[in-house]
Amino acid sequence: MAVADIQAFGFREGCADIVFDDGVRLRVYPVDLEDPIDIRVCVLSRSDIVSAASPDLFWSEDGTQGELAARLGAAVEAERKVYKAYRAKRIDEADWQEKFRTFWKVMIRCRGILGTLTVGALPTANSLEDIGVSDSV
């Protein structure tokens, strides 16, 4: 999975929202937006939730930690690229504040979860409720 596989990204409905070309959606929910931001849960879904990870637990009905890590890694790379574009002045300040800053603030905090997922080290939860997720998140 790569940044090129991302169709759209931004911050909507209280979460960083990434849509991939194949229709899969990754949503990253912060606990709140106060600095420093803490991540509550990352949720991967098609029509239903496929997998989810909190900083402490992983749950999946149809996927692995590596598969979620691949999607989350592409989203983190998108965050890095948009920040580099902003720092290089290819994104003006008004667009940065309006369209990208909150997405960046949430996604930059996903690097720890990404590292843990990449090596498959999160303990497995028995249910979505165990990691604080309802079917509607």
For residue range 6-18, what is the model confidence (pLDDT) as tens digits?
Answer: 999 999 999 999 9
* Angle, CA of 91, 96 and 98, to the nearest 5°: 135
Low-confidence ranges of the chain (pLDDT < 70): 135-137
Residue type, position 127, single letter: S
Where are any strands of DSSP class E within the chain?
6-12, 15-20, 25-30, 39-45, 49-53, 58-60
Structure pTM? Answer: 0.94
Residue among 126, 135, 123 nearest 54 (CA): 123
Q: How high is the pLDDT of residue 132? A: 86
Say what the pLDDT of residue 136 is.
Answer: 58
The pLDDT tens digits of the residues spanning 70-80 come to 999 999 999 99
pLDDT value for 134:
78
Query: CA geometry: angle at 36 spanning 31 and 39, to 5°?
Result: 35
The secondary structure of residue 46, as a DSSP letter, is: S
Cα 17 to Cα 25: distance, rounded to the nearest angstrom: 7
